[in-house]
Chain A
Amino acid sequence: KAGVTQTPRYLIKTRGQQVTLSCSPISGHRSVSWYQQTPGQGLQFLFEYFSETQRNKGNFPGRFSGRQFSNSRSEMNVSTLELGDSALYLCASSLMTSMRTVRGQETQYFGPGTRLLVL
């Protein structure tokens, strides 16, 4: 099975611009989560989608948004970029369908990430 893929791998933008990142989950995985990783804050949860619905959201401003398509592919968008948005953005997919703990469904598989640099 192909792993989680993310595009683009690298991106350079300037302050005030907007950016859209894409994530294709592992085939059969319907849960997709997004994370921001920075040296200072570590890995922080942005949001999670399942069947085109956002089920959970982290503590990020409204400039960060996402969506999921019927084929489970997901995109995240950041509008009005700020210098502090420079980070590695990671996408992860899993088989998790409900909040009930099911061994085997708990595992998140990460993509290689998109490195965003805001100048």
Chain B
Amino acid sequence: TQLLEQSPQFLSIQEGENLTVYCNSSSVFSSLQWYRQEPGEGPVLLVTVVTGGEVKKLKRLTFQFGDARKDSSLHITAAQPGDTGLYLCAGRTSGTYKYIFGTGTRLKVLA
């Protein structure tokens, strides 16, 4: 069974702090995506990475795909209350059309 483990599961921080969320697997992924989901809504795509070692920046968010394409991280600088939500990583392994979703990290940023 393919698994994507995310850590931490829950994170409550003060506005202005930095944080990193990790997404790890024993499987190699041909692509990996990060999403943020609000309660009762569908996940909204943040970024897609496909190359090992790739780093992508989206304003205060920095995403990194591991060299071996088995893991990824999401770093948020100077977190704001608007960053609150459920962060999900999802990977697709080659030879399949199926995306495996991570266990999720629930982030709360306090003003």
Contact = CB atoms under 8 A, between A and B. Distances in A.
Interface of A: 4, 31, 33, 35, 42-45, 48, 50, 55-56, 58, 88, 90, 92, 96, 99, 101, 103, 106-113, 115
Interface residues of B, number: 26
A101 B41 contact: no
Contacts, number: 69
Contacts of B16: none
B33, B96, B97 — which one has the most chain A CB atoms within 10 A of its CB?
B97
Given A42-B101, A48-B98, A101-B50, A107 B42 contact: no
Contact of B98 (A58, A112, A115): A58
Interface string B72-111: 0000000000000000101010111111111110000000
A106 B31 contact: yes
Contacts of A109: 45
Given A45-B101, A107-B45, 16 more contacts: A31-B97, A33-B97, A33-B99, A35-B101, A42-B101, A43-B43, A45-B98, A48-B98, A90-B42, A90-B43, A101-B31, A101-B50, A101-B94, A107-B48, A108-B45, A110-B43
Contact of A56 (B44, B45, B98): B98
